[in-house]
Structure 1
Amino acid sequence: MSVQTDVSLNSIHIRSAQKWQQLALGLLCMASISSPQYVWTLLTKPFLERLDVHLPLLQVTFSLLIIFQTFLSPLQGKLIDRFGARRLIGFGTLFTGASWMGAAYSHSLWSLYMLYGVVGGIGTGIVYIGIVGQVVRWFPAQRGFAAGMVAAGYGMGAIVTTLPISVSLSHYGLTSTLLIFGVGFAALGGLASRGLRDAPSVSSVISHQACVERHYASSQMLKQPLFWLLFFMMACMSTSGLMVTSQLASFAADVGVGQVLIWGMAALPLAMSLDRLTNGLTRPLFGWVSDRIGRENTMFVAFILEAGAMSLWLTFRHDPLLFILLSGVVFLGWGEIFSLFPATLTDTFGSQHAASNYGWLYMSQGVGSILGGPLAALLYQASHGWVPVFSLAIGLDILTALLAIAVLKPWRQRFISR
């Protein structure tokens, strides 16, 4: 009996070490695909000079990247579940690197659309969905924290590359920069993906208070109204956050604080730097909290936090220091959707089809990307003020917080117990 106990404890220790290794590899894979989205703004001016086109036409490239990253995610998740994470995620990282290498030699708008937008979107989508699916399987008792960590890796990975890419563009030009970093992304992501392993199979999936004994395939999950409630809630939060964050520069300029110096730095770039930090920090932070107090309770706290921060942000918008600090709190209350919703989904519908199931839910982020920015711009143009924009965003936050605590929580408890 003692020998069996020692063997069992040793197996548990090995498995525990493996899951942290898998998390680290997932972070590297996420970091290797973050720059196409977050560093695009540095590439717009060089591409405008090369292609001699207007900015709206060039920005279609970025839209294509987001569309193919989000709206193909159900198919990408299904392929990952079918052929295995290591192989597909490896292909995804190579696609992402190849999109930059191909874009280096793009001298027409259509080739840039296809290479940077379509190929890059497919690559980043495969890796994002695949890595989230991996970690929620490896961390059944810490899903919120694990999903938040890799989501933070995607959100904050570009912090490491932004300055080097900026310096490289000024010294070596667009072609060399895209080639060098494209090769680097493919190499980093490809090597990290080689170490990915399938999580041990489990007979049940641990959540905060209950175990799910059934693993739903996507076709079964899509028939459940509970899934569509989650989809609606995530779409609301995505739309709310992007309504305000996408208009940050315009908002700062209109209220007259964008170029005011705070601690020797203009308020707008300082706010953007703080926002990127808090947007990354909130994902593992609130994910960790949700592992302890429950998903819906954490949603209520986080979404009300964003609503309150937005209200104060609008009220004190003419104060440069408060503008910076409150913008950071707004992002702190928004970015956690990328840890709370995948963890809640897997808790509810099981881990066996985690990648393909999250692919369907992740489409709600695409809905928010399409609605958020244009909706805010239309409201601002119609009203010539920011109060209607913030009011709608705050209303969506409060609605989603109430749905989480009053509808989702009891509904999900009944669903799991049944």
Structure 2
Amino acid sequence: MSVDTSELAGVAGAATHEKWKQLGYGLLCMAAISSPQYVWTLLTKPMMAQFSVGLPELQVTFSLLIILQTFFSPFQGKLIDYFGARRLIALGTLLSGLSWVLSAQVHQLAMLYLVYGGLGGLGTGIVYVGVVGLVVQWFPSQRGFAAGIVAAGYGMGAIVTTFPVSHLLDTRGLNFTLTVFGLMFAVVGFLASQGLKHPPASGSTEAAHPAVQGQKQFTAPEMLRQPLFWLMFCMMTFMATSGLMVTSQMAIFSRDFGVSQVVVFGMAALPLALTLDRFTNGLTRPLFGFISDKFGREQTMFIAFALEAVAMTLWLLCRQDAVLFVLLSGVVFLGWGEIFSLFPATLTDTFGTRHSTTNYGCLYMSQGIGSVAGGPLAALLHQHTHSWLPVFGSAIALDIITAFLALLVLRPVRQRFLRRHQG
């Protein structure tokens, strides 16, 4: 029987076109849920005034957001596998936007914990895990790049909201800002989610890729019994702690350093730094994901994590120079945000694609632990010592430890593991 080569080429072209469409939809969904985490630091000062609480008590809200975003992610991954990506991710975008709208209506800190931390965390977790798990299936030979692109949506999405949120907070107040932007996030995310779908069971995607053939496909319980998984979990926890300390505390320590309102390049230093951070935090995810696809996961981890350690050290030493504070903040995030492309790609390379959504949900819980250490615990350390030096010193030490773990421990252990489990 003859085969029409033009027809086959057309099918392959359609599949290629579809996977890029899926990447675009996923990118928009991630951008729609990014502000609850990445604009949080702008909300801390007005919230402290509105609820009459100190920073450690308020930062519990941020930790709850990340904990619920991460600790329920394995269960959310199972729901996505069962009900489908479009339905669950659509629900997640609505919950995330609704968390801001409801936060504008509450008057007690406990209710803020419930709606901003609880509802927002559940919503963002569904979207994050669902989108990452979906795109690594569409791009089996470019997992690092694909995971990096959609993770960039989460890191860079707040670029378009940082200055508008800052302006609206100054001119219309906290509650109006939360309501307007919450509604916007819900609408944009819901519309983007309607285009999502799983790849076909056969063809030019996961099942047909030679990298997947012969690889053992680990279920979550099987993966959790492997010491290699827990090594990755600890490493991601260390890096999450370092990055989330900066994300959640930046408005406070920039004020303490005396640079938050200094005019740099015609703009206030803090919102300018936050905007630059969102760009580099997004750029680093596909950039280092692409590099890791070409040159290896662990080598790329070492370079990226060491870069953050050096940048944070210089940042601390130059903390009273507003220009350097802005520029180095971008380098810090360039060395941190890539964990959200490198770790999911490494995990899928190691434990297979079939259960990638649920498996990444298990690893993603590490960010929840990092949010506690980098949020309220870091705030308590500062409150106890009356200095940011021990807080920054701890974060820098974690960066250095994780960089060397990647190269000296993770790489040889993972190589031996893959030799045992790949035919």
Range into which the TM-score falls when normalised by the shorter chain? 0.7 to 0.9
- Shift in alpha-carbon separation, 1:288–1:250, aligned structure 2, 3 A: same
Per-residue CA deviations over 1:369-418 (Å, capped at 9, x if unaligned) read 11124454455566665554444333322221222122212222222222
Residue of structure 2 aligned with 1:335, choices 337, 341, 351:
337
1:253 Cα offset (Å): 4.8
Deviates further, 92-101 or 293-302: 92-101
Structure 1 unmatched runs, 5+? none
Q: Deviation at 1:232?
A: 0.7
AA aligned to 2:31 is A
**Deviation at residue 173 of structure 1 after TM alignment:** 6.0
Confirm or deny: 8 A CA contact 1:145 1:287 kept in the other structure. Answer: yes
Q: In the alignment, what sits opposite 2:222?
A: 220
Provide the C-alpha distance between the structure 1 equivalents of 2:98 and 2:344, rounded to a whole number of angstroms: 28
CA deviation after TM superposition for structure 1 residue 305, in Å: 1.3
Q: Which runs of 5+ in 2 are unaligned?
A: none
Distance (whole Å) between structure 2 residues aligned to residue 382 and residue 307 of structure 1: 24
The alpha-carbon distance between structure 1 residues 159 and 199, as it changes in their structure 2 partners (threshold 3 A), is same
- Aligned with 1:203: secondary structure? helix
The Cα offsets for residues 171-206 of structure 1, whole Å up to 9 and x where unpaired, read as 666665544443333322222212111023333766
Give the equivalent residue in structure 2 for 1:70. 70
Matches within 5 A, 1:8-407: 8-43=8-43, 53-56=52-55, 59-166=59-166, 177-201=177-201, 202-203=206-207, 213-244=215-246, 246-253=248-255, 255-377=257-379, 379-380=381-382, 385-407=387-409
Q: Distance in 1 between matches of 2:178 and 2:113?
A: 15
The farther-off stretch of 300-309 and 95-104 is 95-104
| Separation in 2, partners of 1:303, 1:228 | 19
- Match for 1:195: what amino acid? G
Q: Percent identity?
A: 63
Q: Is the 8 A contact 2:162 2:274 kept in 1?
A: no
Higher alpha-carbon deviation: 27-36 or 330-339: 27-36
Q: Write the deviation string for residues 144-175 of structure 1: whole angstroms up to 9, x where unpaired.
A: 11111111111221222344445556666666
Residues of 1 paired with 2:115 and 2:384: CA distance? 37
Q: Does 1:409 align with 2:408?
A: no
Moved more, 367-376 or 287-296: 367-376
Question: What is the deviation of 1:359?
Answer: 0.8
SS in 1 for 2:96: helix
Contact 1:244-1:389 within 8 A present in 2 as well: no
CA deviation map 1:6-63 (0-9, x unaligned) = 33322221111001000110011112222223334555566667x6543555554333
CA distance in 2, matches of 1:184, 1:251: 30
Seen in structure 2, the aligned counterparts of structure 1 residues 317 and 363 have a Cα distance that, compared at 3 Å, is same
Do 1:70 and 1:365's aligned partners in 2 also have CA atoms closer than 8 Å?
Answer: yes
TM-score between the two structures when normalised by the length of structure 1:
0.88
Tell me the distance in 2 between the aligned counterparts of 1:277 and 1:191. 24
Shift, 1:349, TM fit: 0.8
The verdict on how the C-alpha distance between 1:148 and 1:107 changes in structure 2, with shifts beyond 3 A counting, is same
Contact 1:204 1:212 in 2 (8 A): no
Q: Please give the alpha-carbon distance, in whole angstroms, between the structure 1 residues aligned to 2:175 and 2:379.
A: 34
Residues 205, 213 of structure 1: 8 Å contact kept: no
Output the amino acid matched with 1:415: F
- Structure 2 vs 1, CA of residues 313 and 159 (structure 1 numbering), >3 Å: closer, same or farther? closer
CA offsets 1:287-311 (integer angstroms, 9 cap, x no match): 1111111111111111111122223
Tell me if the contact between 1:212 and 1:416 (Cα under 8 Å) persists in the aligned partners: no
CA distance in structure 1 between the aligned counterparts of 2:246 and 2:233, rounded to whole angstroms:
21
Quickly say closer, same or farther: Cα 1:248–1:94, change in 2 above 3 A: closer
C-alpha spacing 1:219/1:284, structure 2 compared with 1 (3 Å): same
The 1-side partners of 2:311 and 2:291 are apart by 20
The alignment's C-alpha RMSD in Å is: 2.9
For 2:51 and 2:6, the matched residues in 1 are separated by 69
Native 8 Å contact 2:216 2:351 kept in 1? yes
CA distance in 1, matches of 2:181, 2:258: 37
Q: CA deviation at 1:342?
A: 0.7
Q: Using the alignment, how far apart are the partners of 2:243 and 2:171 within structure 1?
A: 36
**1:139·1:146 contact (CA, 8 Å) conserved in 2?**
yes
Structure 2 residue matching 1:413: 3-state secondary structure: helix
Cα distance between partner residues in 1 of 2:175 and 2:254: 34
C-alpha separation in 2, matches of 1:332 and 1:352? 31
Q: Is the 8 A contact 2:305 2:400 kept in 1?
A: yes
Contact 1:212–1:349 under 8 Å retained in 2 = no
SS at match of 1:304: helix
Partner Cα distance (1:78, 1:285) in 2: 30
CA distance in 1, matches of 2:102, 2:200: 38
Q: Residue 398 of structure 1 aligns to which amino acid in structure 2?
A: I
Change (3 A) 1:15 1:40: same
- Letter of the 1:182 partner, please give it: G
CA displacement at 1:244 relative to structure 2:
4.7
Distance in 2 between residues matched to 1:377 and 1:179, nearest whole Å: 28
Distance 1:249 1:41 in 2: 5
Cα contact 2:242–2:398 (8 A) shared by 1: yes
User: After the TM superposition, which residues 1-12 of structure 1 pair with which residues of structure 2 at under 5 Å, given as runs?
Assistant: 3-12=3-12
